[in-house]
Amino acid sequence: MKMMENIAIMVIFFLLIALGFIFYSKLGGHSAQQNIEKYAQQNAVKLAQVVASLPEVRCSEENVPVSDCYDLLRLNIASSETFPDNYGYYFEILGYSRIAVKPIYPEPDDPNYEILVYNNEPTNRQFSYIPIFIPITLYNATTNLFSFGVLEAGLYD
């Protein structure tokens, strides 16, 4: 009888420990997933801030940068020449990401028109894409007019 009591207590004790362990490991997995998502979000935010500060594309007035403003002529040159010709340099700054600018107003003739400034998709692994959309001002130096656009910056994680 005494032996049975001891065994019952031991069984309950180990059962509680096992339950606690399972519960803790589930929680650990859950918060690890949260941390991964948070890390990805932080990287997307960082990328958006890096792009916003690139002198290659942003507007300036007498060498003074204008906040939240992108020069259309510089954007076109950067997307067709500067970024592709200096792949290694920009890969260090922008990594595996996609940066595009979409004019919103005045509305472009083609509603799908966008300036794909930089796009570097990883080819050797699966990835998820987390874009951030930021309203910006677009400056056309030829006409000296400002228009409304959206910057899309996202990481291939």
Partner 1 sequence: MTKKSQMEIMGIVIIVILFSVGLLFAIRYVILKPEADVKKSFIQAEQSSNTLNSLLKTNIAECRNADMSDLFKDCAGVTQEIDCEGDGTVYTNAELADSCYYLNHTISIILSKTLNLWRVPYAFSAFYDGYDPLEWTEGIHSDSELQCTMESEGRPQEFTLPTNRGSLRIVLKIC
CB nearer partner 1, residue 42 or residue 80: 42
- Residue labelled with tokens 């906040």: 67
CA dist 29 → 24, 25, 36, 103 (Å): 9, 6, 11, 42
Structure tokens given for 37: 């998502």
In DSSP terms, 135 is beta-bridged to: 150
Does the protein bind partner 1 through residue 101 (CB under 8 A)?
A: no
Which position among 76, 119, 120, 147 is part of the footprint of partner 1 (CB under 8 A)?
147
Shortest Å distance, C-beta 25 to partner 1: 12
Spatial contact of 120 and 127, defined as CB atoms under 8 Å apart:
no
Q: Do the bridges between strand 129-140 and strand 64-71 make them parallel or antiparallel, or are there none, so unpaired?
A: parallel
* Binding window for partner 1 (CB under 8 A); candidates: 77-85, 87-95, 120-128, 139-147: 139-147
CB nearer partner 1, residue 77 or residue 134: 134
Does the protein bind partner 1 through residue 23 (CB under 8 A)?
A: yes
Backbone angle region of 136, left / alpha / beta, with phi > 0 → left and psi within -120 to 50 → alpha: beta
CA dist 93 → 1, 96, 120 (Å): 73, 10, 12
Which position among 18, 21, 135, 141 is part of the footprint of partner 1 (CB under 8 A)?
135
Structure tokens given for 140: 């056309």
The interface with partner 1 within residues 61-90 (CB under 8 A) comprises: 67-69
Does the protein bind partner 1 through residue 136 (CB under 8 A)?
A: yes
CB nearer partner 1, residue 41 or residue 119: 41
Write out the residues near partner 1 by the rule CB under 8 A.
Answer: 5, 9, 12-13, 16, 20, 23-24, 27, 30-31, 34, 38, 41-42, 44-45, 48, 67-69, 104-107, 130, 132-137, 145-150
